[in-house]
Structure 1
Amino acid sequence: MTLPKLPLSIQNFAEIRQGNICYVDKTELVWKLVDSGKAYFLSRPRRFGKSLLVDTLKELFEGNRALFEGLYIDDKWDWSKQYPVIKLDFASGVLQNRAQLDERIQTLLMLNQQRLGIECDRRFDLSGCFEDLILKTREKYGQKVVVLVDEYDKPILDNIDYPERAAEVREGLKNIYSVLKGQDAHLQFVFMTGVTKFSKVSLFSGLNQLKDITLDENYATICGYTQTDLETTFAGHLAGVDWVQLKTWYNGYQFLGEAVYNPYDILLFISGNRRYRNYWFETGNPSFLIKLFQQKAYFLPDLEQLEVSEEILDSFDVERINPVTLLFQTGYLTIKEAYTDVMGEQAFVLAVPNYEVKMALNNQLIEGYCQIDTEKKALRTELFTLLHRGAIDGLKPMLQRLFAGIPWRNFTNHDLLNSEGYYASVLYAFFASLNAAITPEDTTNHGKVDMTVALGEFIYVMEIKLDKSSDYQEQTPNPALQQIQDKDYAQKYRHQGKTVFEVGLIFNQQQRNLVQMDWRQLNKSR
């Protein structure tokens, strides 16, 4: 039997439905969406199927029933009514300034005029033209108008490296989106989607009618593939697959509901002869994120155990970029757990969604923090072998080689080097790239040790100290190791049947390197 084709890079609903192409029926959620309200906003990471969802809505409101035969919504929709649709799609091209944005908006408005058979008054500015288009469309078709906006935020994200330019572009978009508030009486349905959610003050001040369904459990799976989707729609393509491995690599995105896979990952995994690779991550480089982490001297080990308020996840602004907000909204972090904090407010525990993202993000972090090159990639392999064997005698020279290879001129304008946090961040990034189990600020009943690293049959309990003297003299005893022993940080690991090493690391700010390392081995005990 010939298997249906894969909808790889196809965002056109009609093309999928008219061909022998796999389609995951999302129309039950679409029906709930349309039946329950009028104006929505949805944020999801890139390559998550947002554009296909927007196109599905377009075909539905235009009344193209043949495309929906056999789907959930077929016998529930009133096909006797067709609604005119205005679609603004900012997905294509890179807009580098306000002038290019205005030109793009003008083109989009012109394309909609041509498709709807409307001619707007040329005397109007862009917002006036959009308003005129809505009014004339309502008049011509005798029905309220549907407005769909895809990748509404892409022009801003295209300029995120340049805050002033990004703010200028944001104002241009705000000028257009604010029209929707004044035209509410003429609108049947509004749907906006993108990667990030900007604060209402900065972009949505005129769009109070939008309901944000980004973290609404009722719509958690409206984009993305569930486990059931894979076992039914893609059953033939995934016959015999190792489900545990597939889940580990690509599942784990959660939006307060059932976990989902990124569709792009799954389609490329199948089409690539089911090879496990970093498919989604390769489509976008998080270089800006890495720069942001460096600029804000972010303590990388915090990524292992992030607990944040709903406010931090809720909105993003170019003048005050929170790297955690950006990591979540762009898909590098996802919700692991939701709970109510002591103040009665919703809070979240965040985590990297899956192995694909963890491995690729860690590689980017060590490149950003260590300026890794071919030599350091070889060093990483050596470090993995060393830790996995418990050959701790070789750890000090290996770490010294790592820090000696970092081009410090790249950090001359940062306060990053003046704290233990930088050295802990470099170590975290390097150890995390080995897929080691890392517990930063590992809590015991006597306090917190800086970092615990577990790999194979060995556990390394590490304390870091930063010495700021100009002429470092080796200290006896090593204060970092002494602290581990005095507070018995390793106690919790004594009975796990593994070999435990207590490791005291001292870095010197002037030498910008590890200057002293002492250790003690605790024998296995059960």
Structure 2
Amino acid sequence: MQNIKKIPYVEADYGKIKRKNMFYIDKTRFIHELENLPNYLFLIRPRRFGKSLWVNLLQYYYDINMKDKFEELFKDTYIGQHPTSDKNSFLTIAFNFSMIKPSKKTVQTYFERYIQRVIEDFLERYHSYFSKDEILKINTFSLIEDKLQEIFFICSRKMLEVYLFIDEYDNFTNTILTTSGTEAYIELTHGEGQFKHFFNLLKGLTSMPNSGLSKLFITGVSPVTMDDVTSGFNIGTNISLDGTINEFMGFTETEVRTLLNYYNKAGLLTLDTEYCLDLMKKWYNNYSFSSDANTQLFNSDMILFFCQKAIIRKTIPEKLIDQNIKIDYKKLRYLVTIDNQLNGNFNRLKSITFDQEILSDIEDSFPVAELTKQKILYLYYTILVCSLYKVKVEENIF
């Protein structure tokens, strides 16, 4: 087999995946499902589950400046053969909050500086849609929320549609919560500052007709920050438990088998496909994000990690867990302790770890003040525990 596709492990740039001949498991059919949902969407999934790749792909698909690249990027995908009427029809502005330094003392400054740079990039990319006077007026404002508001008002008057993306919206707030404590976190999410004002602006834009903000897509790993910064989730629709997009991220067994067979046939993967699948089912499977779902999912990062290591070593990886996932352990500790003392959540996590099941209502929205109450079953981190319980027991992370 010539021109063998590379494994896109940790790659989140869809354009690069296509240009560099990397293996892409086509999920683009879900663009149709997304367009059938409301315009302002909020989605949470575990870390390293493909959120950033999806946000990046959607930018390529909807960006009006990428119209000439559509065939090159999507010709061999489902959406390339079945495009929607909205393709390449938006000005896109994308934020990735993992790029903000989570320093307790300077986070507001870093946040404002980052937003300012994204605004500058937006105006540069779409300068042909704005007059010099309009750009000058936008830049006269010192506050980022004023600049953004003016951009959206101008776009509204000109009938320009804007699609706004926020990837990893809770990245630096979660870090501050787990490293600096609840007080520092509450000061950031409840106090007066650019971070809270930013979300207040989004809240206002999503509730106004003809605001200039046509679509919104926010991703993260928990609903906690959104609940706190907006005083109860009220920015758009939380689609995290929507059964129609259960397979939106992560790999199905069929998709994993296709991946394994490809590299097996290419002669790079020497391990038997069914042997690999059996092993992967024990370590990477059992994710489900809806009570209506009929399909369990594999962690996509883990699958790509396994394949890359197995190809290099010509046998199974020495360690079956991607070490990058360990970053989440500190957050798990926070869920089961208060002031370094175990709370009621520990018994729930212990039950999941050893019994591999628990009966509980799923709370999909709650502020940090309720995070440690016993009634809370924190869905996405408990899923992580279920999937990786062997590693956690061995390492005695609690």
- Measured against the shorter chain, the TM-score band is 0.7 to 0.9
Aligned to 1:144: 161
* 1:203-214 pair list within 5 angstroms: 203-205=229-231, 208-214=234-240
SS at match of 1:167: helix
CA distance 1:247–1:113, shift in 2 (3 Å)? same
CA distance 1:208–1:292, shift in 2 (3 Å)? closer
Q: Which of 337, 352, 360 is the matching residue for 1:308?
A: 360
Matches of 1:280 and 1:50, distance apart in 2: 19
1:321 and 2:371 equivalent? Answer: yes
Aligned to 2:198: 176
CA distance 1:133–1:99, shift in 2 (3 Å)? farther
* 1:121-140 pair list within 5 angstroms: 121-138=139-156
Contact 2:360 2:377 in 1 (8 A): no
Query: Aligned pairs, how many?
Result: 344
Aligned to 1:31: 32
Q: Which amino acid aligns with 2:176?
A: N
How big is each residue's C-alpha offset from its partner over 1:226-254, in whole Å with a ceiling of 9 and x where there is no partner? 11111224422256231222211111111
Q: Which of 164, 178, 184 is the matching residue for 2:183?
A: 164
Contact 2:100 2:172 in 1 (8 A): no
1:266 and 2:283 equivalent? Answer: no
CA distance 1:326–1:284, shift in 2 (3 Å)? farther
1:244 and 2:243 equivalent? Answer: no
How big is each residue's C-alpha offset from its partner over 1:495-518, in whole Å with a ceiling of 9 and x where there is no partner? xxxxxxxxxxxxxxxxxxxxxxxx
Aligned to 1:87: 94
Contact 1:106 1:126 in 2 (8 A): no
Structure 2 length-normalised TM: 0.78
How big is each residue's C-alpha offset from its partner over 1:413-461, in whole Å with a ceiling of 9 and x where there is no partner? xxxxxxxxxxxxxxxxxxxxxxxxxxxxxxxxxxxxxxxxxxxxxxxxx
Aligned to 2:120: 113
Matches of 1:327 and 1:207, distance apart in 2: 16
SS at match of 1:308: coil
CA distance 1:323–1:220, shift in 2 (3 Å)? farther
Matches of 1:196 and 1:207, distance apart in 2: 12
SS at match of 1:146: strand
Q: Which moved more, 1:268-277 or 1:104-113?
A: 104-113
Q: Which moved more, 1:173-182 or 1:81-90?
A: 173-182
* 1:192-207 pair list within 5 angstroms: 192-198=218-224, 201-205=227-231
Report deviation, 1:152: 0.4
Report deviation, 1:124: 3.8
Contact 2:49 2:250 in 1 (8 A): yes
Q: Which amino acid aligns with 2:187?
A: E
SS at match of 2:282: helix
Report deviation, 1:26: 1.4
Matches of 2:165 and 2:323, distance apart in 1: 25
Contact 1:250 1:266 in 2 (8 A): yes
Aligned to 1:524: none
1:289 and 2:296 equivalent? Answer: no
Question: Identity over aligned residues, as a percent?
Answer: 23
Aligned to 2:103: 96
CA distance 1:207–1:323, shift in 2 (3 Å)? closer
* 1:325-474 pair list within 5 angstroms: 327-330=378-381, 332-333=382-383, 352-354=385-387, 357-364=388-395, 366-368=396-398
Gapped regions of structure 1 (runs ≥ 5): 335-351, 369-526
Contact 1:196 1:326 in 2 (8 A): no
Aligned to 2:75: 69
Aligned to 1:153: 170
CA distance 1:125–1:318, shift in 2 (3 Å)? same
How big is each residue's C-alpha offset from its partner over 1:79-131, in whole Å with a ceiling of 9 and x where there is no partner? 77521011111123531226423432332333333333345244342322222
Report deviation, 1:319: 2.7
SS at match of 2:89: coil
Contact 1:155 1:169 in 2 (8 A): no
Aligned to 2:132: none
Contact 1:180 1:207 in 2 (8 A): no
Aligned to 2:48: 47
Aligned to 1:394: none
Matches of 1:24 and 1:115, distance apart in 2: 30
Aligned to 2:258: 232
Contact 1:152 1:194 in 2 (8 A): yes
Contact 2:361 2:377 in 1 (8 A): no
CA distance 1:76–1:14, shift in 2 (3 Å)? same
Q: Which moved more, 1:42-51 or 1:193-202?
A: 193-202
CA distance 1:291–1:194, shift in 2 (3 Å)? closer
Greater RCO, CA 8 A, separation 6+: 2
SS at match of 1:193: strand
CA distance 1:326–1:90, shift in 2 (3 Å)? farther
Matches of 1:69 and 1:99, distance apart in 2: 45
1:222 and 2:248 equivalent? Answer: yes
Gapped regions of structure 2 (runs ≥ 5): 125-134, 311-315
Matches of 1:318 and 1:207, distance apart in 2: 13
Report deviation, 1:326: 7.4
Structure number with greater Rg is 1
Q: Which amino acid aligns with 1:287?
A: K
User: Greater helix percent: which structure?
Assistant: 2
Report deviation, 1:160: 1.4
Contact 2:227 2:365 in 1 (8 A): no
How big is each residue's C-alpha offset from its partner over 1:116-164, in whole Å with a ceiling of 9 and x where there is no partner? 3345244342322222232334556x41211100000112101113111
Report deviation, 1:362: 1.6
How big is each residue's C-alpha offset from its partner over 1:271-308, in whole Å with a ceiling of 9 and x where there is no partner? 11142512166441513433552424345343334222
